[in-house]
Structure 1
Amino acid sequence: MEKTVLSGMRPTGDLHLGNLYGALQNWINLQNEDYERFYFVADWHALTTGFDSSKEIPKNTINMVADWLAFGLDPSKSIIFVQSLVKEHAELFLLLSMITPVGWLERVPSYKDQIAQLGKAKTSNYGFLGYPVLMAADIIIYKAHYVPVGLDQVAHLEFTRELVRHFNHTTQKDVFIEPQPLLTKVPKILGLDGRKMSKSYDNAIYLSDSEEETTKKIRIMFTDPRRKRRTDPGVAEECGVFMLHKIFSSKEKQEEIKQACSKAEIGCVDCKKMLIKNLNEALKPFREKRKELLNKEKTIKEILIEGSKKASQKAKETLEEVRDAIFSTGRLR
């Protein structure tokens, strides 16, 4: 049986380099593997902490999918769809919520962290508390064998696995399979201020940034704090600029920079100039493709509508099994 891979992203704003190399690039690489692939716009998930910005979701969806397509996600190889266009997700979410202990939700690793980060005003809704159940529904309705994640996200997937075991045991039917993490090597990418690149920190280099905007941002990036003066030696491996060199510069150039930095033979300004040149050259084809796609918004919508129809067919089949497992064959049809 062909194995299934599933993943999604929330349309909460423009994608940045961290999103590209932490997730999207892995999706694209998997297109060369023997999997059935489902990638979706998690627009309902975006509402859990951003209901007051809901009117931005349609625009964000188009922009995000344009990024996916511009970098090489191929709708002829992967099913690309919108969560809210496949209503079966909502029904499975409802049914699963009937057997999910509240205590399980309160112990999800990110629950308290997000409350601390976003505040109670954005996280005191039922949707936020129950989002792991919706996430589980998203995955298991396609009977996904694998979910591509970084090592730090494995604990989140374990909730889904636990819920699968609970459902199968409660109904005495093996409807669902336990999805496994498809561990992906996520390169460490720091933002402009030296912290992890994130929209919430306002420290990101976005895929939608122009060449000029990218140049300005790299010029103000934090570097190795040891290098207070041009003559101070540094450790390239601990510098956010060098971490981007490891993606956008050749192996030879990386080694040259590493050695020169450790001996203070190169300054941070010169190092940034090299990165600016290499990064902008690498992103040029993408920027041109993205611009072309955004001028064909109708094409993007057609891809999403067609992908959602295909996803819905699979979801309906699974939901029939779920209803039979819960209500048995005596239910009204």
Structure 2
Amino acid sequence: MYAERVLSGMRPTGALHLGHYHGVLKNWVKLQHEYPCLFFVADWHALTTQYDNPQGIERSSMDMVIDWLAAGVDPNQATLFIQSKVPEHAELHLLMSMMTPLGWLERVPTYKDQQEKLAGKDLTTYGFLGYPLLMSADILIYRADKVPVGEDQIPHVEFTRELARRFNHMYGREPGFEDKAREAVKKLGSKKARLYEELRTGFVQNGDKEALEQGKALLNEIQHLSALDRERLFGYLEGSGKMILVEPGYLLTEESKMPGLDGQKMSKSYHNTITMRESEESVAKKVKSMPTDPARVRRHDPGEPTKCPVWQLHQVYSNEACKEWVQQGCRTAGIGCIECKQPVIDGILKEQVPMRERAQMYLDDPTLVKNIIADGCEKARELARETMRDVREAMGLEYH
């Protein structure tokens, strides 16, 4: 019932840069071979801060999906879809908004951070306050148990876990739940039933989290249970009711090591990016005009690589021998700054070759991208409908 599943999304910001590739997409490409993955365009999320200027969202979404495909995300391995094409996200968001305490939303760390960062915008909207709840609905609608996040997004996953717990506790009580759960325990067979009861007691009475994890692992091993009995046993194990929404875990992703052209983090807001499919001429021009160590005013002045933004790019693109050559040449003024930049230009262009090649067929025939998205949206909706059936039933909204 609750298979391993990875979910991740990105706001449509148009063409992606190499920071996105090194920080997110390389990881997606790896994950798609390890788990069933769902990757989505978070277009409703774009409206939380761009509600007054939505015109470019569709174009940006398509450009972004082409970049995903260019990076090596494979639609045969992963499901790619657009958030707004799966209206169940909005329905779950609405129903959960009925039972989410206001204080929980105001406590999310990024709420205050974003307001300060985007001080020029009026963000006193319900949509902006409620965006962590929409993010939780995105995860919970697919019963995704793995969410790849950076350190700063862990509070969002914790918030989602609390919401799932609260929801299951409030609505997971079906009539005669305990009797039905005890009947389901008997179906485990005497040995496993005894172990299950021990683990349940360990968690419910003593708060032993290890016992809870062992109990979940035990249930995941058992094949012959019906979906309904499995749900009841998961809920009973935690001392709540039926487990309708799954508490997600997170997969911590390393922060992108990709510096921008000025040595700061690569970011559109700093105007220091190289896009994934930027032309060769433009890449060469941007790298050649990068600032270098201020001490090297003339060609024969020695420099210090650690004070130069170009050195940070060598860390990403150069091998040990090249880095040795840079350090030696820079400190003795044996090489000039333009010579030092050439291996970086070569490294970036080499990385981009397969990206441009993969993207070309989608640029030549945009219907291919539309078909991939349509197919992904249909697969995503199937999973979302299944969750919403259970949610409506639990909340007494499944009119027969």
| Contact kept in structure 2, 1:223 and 1:240, CA below 8 Å | yes
User: Map of 1:270-281 to 2, 5 A cutoff?
Assistant: 270-281=339-350
1:248 to 314, 317, 326: 317
Q: Residue 11 of structure 1 corresponds to which residue in structure 2?
A: 12
Q: Secondary structure at the match of 2:393?
A: helix
> With structure 1 as the length reference, what TM-score do the two structures score?
0.91
- Shift of the alpha carbon at 1:129? 1.2
Q: Residue 195 of structure 1 corresponds to which residue in structure 2?
A: 264
Bigger shift: 314-323 or 172-181?
A: 172-181
Q: Residue 234 of structure 1 corresponds to which residue in structure 2?
A: 304
Bigger Rg, structure 1 or 2 = 2
Amino acid at match of 2:399: L
Cα distance change of structure 1 residues 143 and 271 upon mapping to structure 2, 3 Å threshold: same
Q: Residue 159 of structure 2 corresponds to which residue in structure 1?
A: 159
Once the two structures are superposed, residues 242-268 of structure 1 have per-residue CA deviations (whole angstroms, 9 ceiling, x without a partner) of 333333333432344345445554443
Q: Residue 213 of structure 1 corresponds to which residue in structure 2?
A: 282
% identity of equivalent residues: 49
> With structure 2 as the length reference, what TM-score do the two structures score?
0.76
Once the two structures are superposed, residues 30-84 of structure 1 have per-residue CA deviations (whole angstroms, 9 ceiling, x without a partner) of 1221x11100011111111112331211111111111111121111100111101
Cα distance change of structure 1 residues 101 and 189 upon mapping to structure 2, 3 Å threshold: same
Amino acid at match of 2:286: K
| Contact kept in structure 2, 1:63 and 1:294, CA below 8 Å | no
Q: Residue 354 of structure 2 corresponds to which residue in structure 1?
A: 285
Amino acid at match of 2:132: P
Bigger shift: 255-264 or 206-215?
A: 255-264
Are 2:63 and 1:63 aligned? yes
Gaps of 5+ in 2: 173-241
Distance 1:83 1:179 in 2: 19
Q: Residue 315 of structure 1 corresponds to which residue in structure 2?
A: 384
Q: Residue 332 of structure 1 corresponds to which residue in structure 2?
A: 399
Distance 1:100 1:239 in 2: 49
| Contact kept in structure 2, 1:189 and 1:240, CA below 8 Å | no
Distance 2:83 2:73 in 1: 18
Are 2:41 and 1:41 aligned? yes
- Shift of the alpha carbon at 1:301? 0.4
Bigger shift: 115-124 or 205-214?
A: 115-124
| Contact kept in structure 2, 1:70 and 1:293, CA below 8 Å | no
- Shift of the alpha carbon at 1:239? 4.6
- Shift of the alpha carbon at 1:227? 5.5
Corresponding residue pairs, total: 329
- Shift of the alpha carbon at 1:198? 1.2
Q: Secondary structure at the match of 1:7?
A: strand
Once the two structures are superposed, residues 244-295 of structure 1 have per-residue CA deviations (whole angstroms, 9 ceiling, x without a partner) of 3333333432344345445554443322222012211221231233233112
Q: Residue 28 of structure 1 corresponds to which residue in structure 2?
A: 29
Distance 1:227 1:107 in 2: 49
Distance 1:258 1:182 in 2: 36
Cα distance change of structure 1 residues 84 and 327 upon mapping to structure 2, 3 Å threshold: same
Runs of at least 4 residues of structure 1 off by over 6 A? Answer: none
Q: Residue 73 of structure 2 corresponds to which residue in structure 1?
A: 73
| Contact kept in structure 1, 2:277 and 2:355, CA below 8 Å | no
Q: Secondary structure at the match of 2:121?
A: helix
User: Map of 1:141-160 to 2, 5 A cutoff?
Assistant: 141-160=141-160
Q: Secondary structure at the match of 2:81?
A: strand
1:183 to 231, 241, 252: 252
Distance 2:296 2:166 in 1: 54
Once the two structures are superposed, residues 137-171 of structure 1 have per-residue CA deviations (whole angstroms, 9 ceiling, x without a partner) of 10111111111112232223222122222212222
Are 2:125 and 1:135 aligned? no
Once the two structures are superposed, residues 176-209 of structure 1 have per-residue CA deviations (whole angstroms, 9 ceiling, x without a partner) of 2221111122332222233221112222111232
